[in-house]
Structure formats: structure tokens, C-alpha cells
Structure 1
């Protein structure tokens, strides 16, 4: 292997980028303009800049340092699905630099269409755009059950809970249409299905914390009301917990690897305001991309391919997500967007 490609979602860097970025994300998916207007205001409320690109670059720097410390000579390139640097341009640069084969780290721990198979499509599209001479690309596996991912979240919960006293632990992940979740793994797929992987990651983090009772809820729904999505929604769930007399909550965004705009808006803004309105104590665990263990995790995944390092995982779910040149890893798994529905805007 000649390089590592860090493949992510992308986000605007300037206010004038916001609308074109959102149009890229939702092209061909029937998202109503008023929904784009709403999300555009979220971005503009933060200066028109998504945190995701800066978070990715910081994580890449940490991975580069970890690779160097382990004596692994592997340059890291950065490409996005929806905004600059676009993955097609990055792959062309890689080809021009003489890269012939590379590993790909997608910034999602899970299966599902947008979290997994769409990255396969990104890889295939970028290779087609570059044409002859495009590097061979091997996408790294899912890592929702990796011990470093789990321990980073567990410690983040401990920090978020300081000073709260009694609290309820609530895990959150991006909601998807129920039909999309069903399409994220064939009936006999065991741990391939997105919602099952999220539930397992939550179970593992809670177990490390010694917490026996917790909740898994969903955030960031953006589809039409007549289409069923995974529930309960985090805001509705806070109302329900308040009705049961729960004095405080700690939210753990276990479905995300970084504190990008959807985490900051849905949890630090809307959920925090809801908790304050209800008189509930509130804490939010940070996502792990800035934790040193995250860079160590990425390098461990790389070493599984470079030096046959052991696969470290805490669940009995099957290892999945590793693909070559964008070939889907399982027949009937993670159906395309036309059938599975749209997932996220950041």
C-alpha cells in the first residue's frame, strides 16, 4: 500500500458555500426547498462554516503522527463526498503522485447506506473519474465495536457526567427511515444492520461504565412526516424522561465520530435548550475524533492490512465493511439512496 485516503462527508467553509453544499448533498432525493432553508440557517448561525473539515484535518494530523511513531511510511490524503476537497480531485492528485494502491478510512463506524455503501459508491465514482491509472482502493472495516472506540466514549461520558449527581445515560445516533434500516442488512445479516450496530455500541459503552439502564434514541430526522423513521427522537425522549422525574441526562452521540454541525445543533443547541426548559441537568459526551485513541484506532485498522495485525473487536457481530474498489461487501446489503432514503446533511 502506498497511501491512506481519509474519506469523509464534507461541509462548507464559507457562508456562500452553504447552499451549494446542501444542494450537492440532497441532489435527486426530493428534499423540499423549505427543509434546505431551515438547515441553511443552522449553518449560517455558526458563521456558515461546518466544523467537520477542521475536525477531519486535526484527526488526520494525529493519524500522521501515530503512523510516524510506529515507523509506518504512509502519506495521508483527504477527500470528501459533498464538498472540497472532493474525493475525485484527491484521487487524481494521488494518481499524479504515483500512488498505485491505497487504504481508505471512511469517517463512519457503522454499516447502512450513507454510513457505508455510499462510501463504496464514492470510491467507484472517483476511480471512474480518474480513469486509467486510478489507484486500487481498499476500504477499511466497520469499527463500532473496537475497544478504543468504546473506551474513548466511556471516558467522555464520565467527563460529561461530572457534577450532575443522578443522571440517565442516553445514546444518540442519526435516524434513518425504517425501510432504510431494514435495507442495511439482509435478513440473516446478524450485525450488519445499522440500528443493531448502534445498539451494540451503546451496550458496550454502558458495560464499560458499569451502567445497566440506559436508552438509545435518534436525532436529525429530516424526511417527510408520512415516512416512518427510527424513533424515539431525542427531544421527545427528553419530555418522556422529564415526565418520569429524571433529574439529569448525559447524552452520548455514539453514532458519530466527530462533533460536526448535526451534533452541535441537535444536541448542544436544541437538546440542551429543551433540557433547560424542563429544568433537567444536562451533559454531553464529546465524540472521539480528537481523542488520541481515535488515531490509534485508525492505525490499528491500517495495520490489519499492512502487517496482519489482529482484528480487535468486543462484539460477536461479523466483521464487515471492508471492500475493494467500491464493490459492495454483501449482496442485498445497504440498498442505494433511491430505496433506502437520505440520512444526513452534515
Structure 2
């Protein structure tokens, strides 16, 4: 694994009890001037789950799975974990690595795509944390991995599982809805490497469309599918990516669709945006419309996804060409200075 002497899992973080919720949301929204009343409103999503976001436990599970996979395959790297918005904070983890004598780290973020919040902001998080720690190790962030076979195959397996849960009479005609986190249109247009041509959209939308195509092909069966968005949080005056999943569900019901499988392909694990926006809001919308909805799981600790982590680490350590199934030019590989910057 030369030149690396540690692996770092980077994630968003989430509250783990009711008292954590508002302080966590204040961390997430710091500097944006979000009224406390709005934070309390969003906090109700967490309070439905006793104030516990699933994301931290899912990171613990992934850390353990990666450690086991590294051990089984001769990858001699200690595994660390740090968050952007909650304990264990990235700054504390960088300080711990420095105390342990770690000098160079290969890091993977729990986000597969190219845009500001899922790629560039993690680079900024790393630089901020390193600047605050004397003797901090160098940290290299692994590229966006949306079309890596391990990412695509894990969604394919989970989508087939969800289809199998549908009654046989609904399965063949089930409509696939690929759901990702909406972002402002301006951020979407600025996503990716500005030297690359992504057609009429930025890298984020192009990558999402590519993954939906790849998974649908592997699922087979000729299912119709759409790309939809969820978890919008901006003011109504600011254009965000559409259509919203709930709006599309209403349209599909009008078209006579009786069953859908929602694939949360914009996410690495079943954290709060999945558990609330899909398992509560979208499910309730579908029930009111008389549409049967099954949700595929996000990758989590799917064996293909865990093996992907090891492959990405060795790819980076060995300087191999990026491995991917899609036809889009590599985006943000080796983090070009101006990739995913707001413009």
C-alpha cells in the first residue's frame, strides 16, 4: 500500500440522541442564516426516530467491514473515520492520526458523485482539518466512484431484491424510480471538471443518468425508469433539480402505473434522507395514490461495495487507470484545482 500508511473514511455525520439534533443541524447550516424555527421543523424528521440518524452506525458497520476485507486480502492499513458535522469530527481524527505517527492517508468519502457538497467540500474539510493540526498527515481523497462496478453491482443486487418483494402480478410492469439528492441548478451546472464536456448538464446529472442506465441494463426485464430528486431544502425562489419524487409518483399513478421500486442511487447508505424522505414521505404519497412502493437498499456493507473500497485504495496506491463501467470521461480524478467549484 505504499505510499500510504492509513485509510480514512470521510462522512457527513449525524445525531445519535434527541439532544444532539439541533446542535447537529446548526453545524450543517452554519453561515447560511437559517432561522431556528426552520431547524426545529427539520429536527422533527429526526425526532420520529428518537433523534438518532442511522448514518453513524452505518459508518461503524462499514469501517468494520472494510477492516475485515483489508485483513482478508493482505491490505495492511489501519482504518480511521471522521465526520464533517458530528462526532467523530474530522479534525479530531486528523489529530489522532498525527499522534499515531501517520504520515500519508488515502481517504474515501461516503458520496459517489461530483458536485460541490459531495466532493469539493470534502477537499475543503480536509484542508481545514489539516491546517488546525501541527504535523498533520497528507490526505489524498479518492475520486468520485459512481460507475465503479462495485457501486453499480450493489445497487443492481438490491434492486432485484426489491423487485422480488413485489407481488408476482405487479413485478413485470414495475416502474423504477432512481432517486438522488436535489441540489441547486447552479451547483449542478458547476459540478465536475470544467475542462470536460458533459453535454447540456453538469457532471452530477450526467453521472446520475449513467448509473441509472447501467443498473437498469443489469436488472433486465425491460423496466421503464425515471430519474427523480428528493430532499430539497432551498428557498422556493431558487431553482433546484427536478422532478421531485412525490410529483412524479402522482404522474405515474395518473398513467396507470401500479407498482414502483425506488432506488436511492444518490446515497451510499440508508441514512436520514432515505429513511424519512423515502420511507415516510414518498411511501405515504404512494399509499394515497394506490401505488405499491418497494425501496431498494443503498449499498451499505454489500460485499461488492466493500470490495470496491479496497479496489479504489489499491488503484490510488498503484497509480492505476480509474476503473469504471460508464462512458463519461473521468471527472474530478486527482481533484483538479477547479473541479466542482461554485461558478
Structures share fold, TM-score greater than 0.5: yes
Higher relative contact order (CA 8 A, sep 6+): 1
Tell me the TM-score normalised to structure 2 length: 0.93
Count of equivalent residues: 331
1:100 and 1:260 mapped to 2: Cα distance?
32
Q: Assess if the C-alpha contact under 8 Å between 2:18 and 2:50 holds in 1.
A: yes
Counterpart of 1:193?
A: 203
Q: Assess if the C-alpha contact under 8 Å between 1:113 and 1:335 holds in 2.
A: yes
Alignment pair present for 1:41 and 2:27: no
Q: Assess if the C-alpha contact under 8 Å between 2:174 and 2:260 holds in 1.
A: yes
Q: Assess if the C-alpha contact under 8 Å between 2:175 and 2:223 holds in 1.
A: no
Q: CA RMSD in A?
A: 1.5
Counterparts in 2 of 1:16-35, with a 5 A limit? 16-35=19-38
Q: Assess if the C-alpha contact under 8 Å between 1:171 and 1:251 holds in 2.
A: yes
Q: Assess if the C-alpha contact under 8 Å between 2:193 and 2:336 holds in 1.
A: no
Alignment pair present for 1:15 and 2:18: yes
Equivalent of 2:159 in 157, 160, 177: 157
Q: Assess if the C-alpha contact under 8 Å between 2:192 and 2:331 holds in 1.
A: no
Q: Assess if the C-alpha contact under 8 Å between 1:249 and 1:280 holds in 2.
A: yes
Tell me the TM-score normalised to structure 1 length: 0.92
2:113 and 2:212 mapped to 1: Cα distance?
12
1:105 and 1:28 mapped to 2: Cα distance?
26
1:318: Cα distance to partner?
Answer: 2.5
Counterpart of 1:317?
A: 328
Structure 1: where are the runs of 5+ without partners?
Answer: 340-346
- Which consecutive aligned stretches of 4+ in structure 1 deviate over 4 angstroms post-superposition? none
Counterparts in 2 of 1:1-346, with a 5 A limit? 1-131=4-134, 133-162=135-164, 163-164=166-167, 165=170, 166-185=173-192, 188-191=195-198, 193-210=203-220, 211=222, 213-308=224-319, 311-323=322-334, 328-331=335-338, 333-336=339-342
> Residues 108 and 9 of structure 1: is their aligned pair in 2 closer, same or farther, counting only changes over 3 Å?
same
Structure 2: where are the runs of 5+ without partners?
Answer: none
> Residues 185 and 321 of structure 1: is their aligned pair in 2 closer, same or farther, counting only changes over 3 Å?
closer
1:158 and 1:68 mapped to 2: Cα distance?
30
- What per-residue deviation string (whole Å, max 9, x for no partner) do you get for residues 242-266 of structure 1? 0111001100001000000110101
1:104 and 1:60 mapped to 2: Cα distance?
12
1:138 and 1:188 mapped to 2: Cα distance?
21
Q: Assess if the C-alpha contact under 8 Å between 1:152 and 1:293 holds in 2.
A: yes
Counterpart of 1:344?
A: none
Moved more, 172-181 or 307-316: 307-316
1:290: Cα distance to partner?
Answer: 2.1
1:33 and 1:245 mapped to 2: Cα distance?
42
Q: Assess if the C-alpha contact under 8 Å between 2:193 and 2:331 holds in 1.
A: no
